[in-house]
Amino acid sequence: MSTPVTYFIGGIASDERIFKHQMVAVENAVYLPFPKHDKHDTMETYVKKFIPFIDTTKAFNLVGNSMGGIMVMELIKHVQPQKVVLISSVKSRNEMPFILTHMKYTNAHKLLPGKGFIGFIQFGSLFKNEILKVPGMRRLAVSMAKSNDPDFLYWCVNAIIKWNGKEDYRKDIIHIHGTKDEMFPYRNIKNAIPVQGGTHSMLLIHHKEVNQLLAESLKENQ
């Protein structure tokens, strides 16, 4: 029996390098680049653009990190993966921090227009104190952030803030989450597998622990 393909979707201001440790540890791993967005897209309409790049005729898994996890939660309304794994993400709007849910009504995120706004997103999503302390990580974080189109980054933030996701359409979500995640605090997350001391950058910093949990989660008999 062939091993299912495991498709990976990354987070905001990242690219395939965010999964550089996981892609080599998981058999039949495929990174899904972000499709081109339309300014009128919502999270719900945008995720359908991934479907042509997923071979749904064979068994497959979906893994989403951060915003990629939100996209996976929308994708599973349209495709039926064997396993669904979220890493450093949220399963529903109820798991988001208050500041993000409140922005839907205040539009406070729009107070930093243009380059100031994009700089805030790039810095806030990847350039954490932890990642800056690791040799080579600062250069990687800057490079990944710059690889993203500023218009797409702006769209991403709006789509996340306006997302009304619920988790009631699939109950077997596997959720791996750091206990020190500063973007999506662990206290808000339900039924997660904890990575002790893991932050929002744990794919890169705590990759050994994450890889072990990911491998266990993707086992056929789990």
Residue 200 lies in a domain: yes
pLDDT recorded at residue 106? 54
Residue 155 lies in a domain: yes
Q: Are 43 and 71 in contact (CB under 8 A)?
A: yes
Looking at residue 84, which CATH number applies to its domain? 3.40.50.1820
* pLDDT tens digit sequence for 156-174: 888 988 898 887 778 899 9
Count of structural domains within the chain: 1
Q: Is the pLDDT of residue 116 over 50?
A: no
pLDDT recorded at residue 141? 76
Non-local (6+) Cβ contacts of 84 within 8 A are 61, 62, 72, 76, 170, 172, 173, 174
Residue 222 lies in a domain: no
Residue 69 lies in a domain: yes
Structure tokens given for 27: 């058999």
pLDDT recorded at residue 127? 44
- pLDDT mean over 126-149: 70
pLDDT recorded at residue 170? 85
Structural domain for 205, as ranges: 5-217
Q: Is the pLDDT of residue 3 over 50?
A: yes
Of residues 87 and 183, which shows the higher confidence score? 87
Residue 12 lies in a domain: yes
Task: Report residue 221's pLDDT band, with 50, 70 and 90 as the boundaries.
Answer: low
Of residues 134 and 45, which shows the higher confidence score? 45
Residue 80 lies in a domain: yes
Tally: H helices and E strands in the chain: 9, 6
SS3 (DSSP) at 86 = strand
Alpha-carbon gap, residue 10 to 66, rounded angstroms: 7
Q: Which has the minimum average pLDDT: 91-95, 112-116, 203-207? A: 112-116
Nearest to 219 by CA among 55, 15, 26, 14: 26
Structure tokens given for 14: 């990242």
Alpha-carbon gap, residue 65 to 89, rounded angstroms: 6
SS3 (DSSP) at 181 = coil
Tell me the average pLDDT of the chain.
85
Non-local (6+) Cβ contacts of 44 within 8 A are 74
Residue located via tokens 């709006």: 158
Of residues 75 and 141, which shows the higher confidence score? 75
Residue 127 lies in a domain: yes
Q: Report the percent of the chain where pLDDT is more than 70.
A: 82
Task: Report residue 190's pLDDT band, with 50, 70 and 90 as the boundaries.
Answer: very high
Non-local (6+) Cβ contacts of 120 within 8 A are 112
Q: Is the pLDDT of residue 49 over 80?
A: yes
Task: Report residue 220's pLDDT band, with 50, 70 and 90 as the boundaries.
Answer: low
Helices (H), the chain: 43-46, 67-75, 98-106, 114-126, 129-132, 137-146, 150-162, 202-205, 207-217
Q: Is the pLDDT of residue 101 over 80?
A: no
- pLDDT mean over 77-81: 96
